[in-house]
Amino acid sequence: MNYILLTAQQTVTQAANATQEVAPKSPSNDIIGIGGIIATLLVGIVTCLVTWKLTMKSIKQLKISYNIQVFPILSNSVTQNTDINLDDLQIQYKGKNLLNPCLLALEIVNIGNEAINEPPIKIRTDEDIEIIPGYFEDIPAGYEDLWSFDKTNSNSCNILLKHINPKQVVKTRFFLDNLPQKKIIFECPMQNVQTQETAYNNTNTPNKITVSSKSNIILMAITALLFVSIPQWSYYIKQFIFLLT
């Protein structure tokens, strides 16, 4: 951001020098001169944005977003069919009846700009609920041996990922023996890696969040540029009013 402000200040200085070079010989010359100065400012703004984008790409960012959803399996509210009574159905895991079996869908996305190698990802619950490893959905070709599960105990499970490339999505599925009343806990205690939970959306929610953050920084840069160039804009407005009178 400091580099962007420095670039903005240099642009303003160039605009100020251009202002001094404008000779008020005639109204037409003034219009041409002011137009050139405004064009210089616009070029400066574009330069700031391009510089910012290149700078952000050069900065190493390790970020993971995740989304967790739980769906009851044996529930008439899910089937929305009153003619089917699911209470008579049972699902077992290793000979144990699952009281209220649920499907847990976890999606992990690398929203940074660097690959993350072997992140220590774990999901767990503080309740007396068993987490049963399921499967990876839409696993990319060649990743069958690179992504796997490691069940540590009945209430937690590790997700072993050899690496996650930027923008890559990992879709995992688990089974629970009961409907949780608390949030499932997602952990990734890795140095320099940021994690954030995202709301479910049919579109790529993590990308939307990233774009929103970039937009905020762009607006900050433009605001800073306009703020430091207030004296020059005041001069342009006075010149414009002078031409109209």
User: Residue 70 sits in a domain of what CATH number?
Assistant: 2.60.40.290
With respect to residue 103, please indicate whether it lies within any of the assigned structural domains.
Answer: yes
Asked if residue 176 is part of any domain, the answer here is yes
Residue 98 lies in a domain: yes
Q: What is the pLDDT of residue 150?
A: 95
235 located within any domain: no
Place of tokens 């064009």: 39
Give the residue numbers spanning the domain of 115. 63-76+93-197
Question: What's the structural domain count of the chain?
Answer: 1
Alpha carbon separation from 236 to 112, 148, 221 (Å, rounded): 42, 64, 21
| 215's tokens | 């937009």
Residue 60 has a pLDDT of 78
Q: Which residues of 166-189 are buried (b: 16+ CB within 10 A; e: fewer)?
A: eebbbebebbbbbbbeeebebebe
CB of 229 closer than 8 Å to CB of 12: yes
Amino acid at 65: S
In angstroms, the Cα distances linking 162 to 116, 117, 119, 149 are 9, 6, 8, 12
Residues forming a β-bridge with 158: 122, 150
pLDDT tens series, the chain, 245 aa: 455 445 545 554 555 555 455 444 455 555 555 555 666 666 667 666 666 666 655 677 899 999 999 998 876 555 555 566 666 677 777 777 777 899 999 999 999 999 999 999 999 999 999 999 999 999 999 999 999 999 989 999 999 999 999 999 999 999 999 999 999 999 999 999 999 998 765 444 444 444 445 555 655 655 555 555 555 556 666 666 666 66
Distance of alpha carbon 147 from alpha carbon 170, whole angstroms:
9
Selection from 4, 9, 102, 108 nearest residue 56 by Cα:
4
Query: In sequence order, what E strands does the chain have?
Result: 63-72, 92-93, 96-97, 102-110, 116-117, 121-124, 131-137, 147-153, 156-161, 163-164, 169-176, 185-187, 194-197
Phi-psi region for residue 80, left (φ > 0), alpha (ψ -120 to 50) or beta? left
Q: Is residue 204 part of a domain?
A: no
- Within-domain flag for 116: yes
Domain contains 29 = no
Q: Residue 89 has what pLDDT?
A: 72
pTM of the model: 0.59
Residue 82 lies in a domain: no
Structure tokens at 110: 């690398």
Give CA angle at 55 (49, 57), nearest 5°.
105
pLDDT of residue 95: 78
C-beta of residue 61 within 8 angstroms of C-beta of residue 112: yes
Q: How far apart are CA 209 and CA 111, in angstroms?
A: 9
